[in-house]
Amino acid sequence: MQDMTHQMMGYDRTSTMFSPDGRLLQVEYAKEAVKQGSTAIGMVCKDGVLLVADKRVVDKLIVPESVEKIFQVDEHIGATATGFVMDGRVLIERAQVMAQQHNVTYGVPIEVATLVKEVCDIKQFYTQYGGARPFGVSILFAGIDDEAKLFMTDPTGIFFEFKATAIGEYEQEIKDLLVKQYKESLTIEDGLKVAVGILKKVLGKDFDAKRLDGVYITNEEKKFTRIENKKLRM
């Protein structure tokens, strides 16, 4: 009832207007959009970091291999977005440019946390100026600095570092399963089995390995490597 009152009074028409109880309703709506997006799982393993995402290809005429859900940001960083994927694509393209500029300017690869902060600054900017809407997307950034790193960014511009997490549809169910099944001693191969098993459980009859996209980055090579689809069929 209170939300309806807020809407009638126009507090949800702009991201710059606080409601009487201190909420930015447009930003909250953006977070709800993320919950309806396709699922992605990130996991730090003892030998690297792993991303597995559901491409949610439902049109049988679409070529599944043409749908990219996990993007290479730099040689040592990957990212996947859920929510309004077009927003995620734009932000990831900006992240790619930032990574290249840092490399050219300083002669060293950008740290994952530095890149995440820069992207989150852009997200936060769009929550406080009129004439633009917040980015309706959460992004998982995974990469290797001195060790494996996994960050989650949300539409507000907040970011957190995780050992393992999920975004998108079934987020809470997957997190509950990760709490039970995740161990820091997991290898990338073991982590892949856990991630695919969890997706198989939450997606049920909708599960299809052709819908999955996966990448890993090892501590040793620090190189973005895409997982062959046949390895996702387990």
Residue 46 to residues 43, 128, 188, 212, 214, Cα–Cα distance (Å): 10, 40, 8, 23, 18
Residue 14 has pLDDT above 60, yes or no: yes
- Are the C-beta atoms of 64 and 74 separated by less than 8 Å? no
pTM for the complete prediction? 0.90
End-to-end CA distance of the chain: 47
Taking CA 118 as the corner, what is the angle to CA 113 and CA 120, rounded to the nearest 5 degrees? 90
Whole-number mean pLDDT of the chain? 89
pLDDT digits (tens, 9 = 90+) for 35-94: 989 999 999 999 999 999 998 877 778 887 778 899 999 999 999 999 998 999 999 999
Which of the four pLDDT bands, split at 50, 70 and 90, describes residue 4? low
User: What's the gap between Cα 40 and its chain centre?
Assistant: 6
- Are the C-beta atoms of 51 and 20 separated by less than 8 Å? no
Q: Which of 83, 67, 36, 71 is nearest to 211 (CA)?
A: 67
pLDDT digits (tens, 9 = 90+) for 170-215: 999 999 999 999 999 999 999 999 999 999 999 988 888 888 999 9
How far apart CA 113 and CA 202 sit, in angstroms, is 30
How far apart CA 106 and CA 94 sit, in angstroms, is 18
CA dihedral (87, 152, 32, 28) positive or negative: negative
- Name the token pair of 101: 């500029």
Q: Supply the pLDDT for residue 30.
A: 85
Q: Supply the pLDDT for residue 56.
A: 85
How far apart CA 169 and CA 54 sit, in angstroms, is 10
The domain defined by 25-56+63-232 folds into Glutamine Phosphoribosylpyrophosphate, subunit 1, domain 1 (3.60.20)
3-state class (DSSP) for residue 25: helix
Q: Which of 116, 162, 167, 109 is nearest to 137 (CA)?
A: 167
The residue length of the chain stands at 234
How far apart CA 56 and CA 58 sit, in angstroms, is 6
Which of the four pLDDT bands, split at 50, 70 and 90, describes residue 8? very low
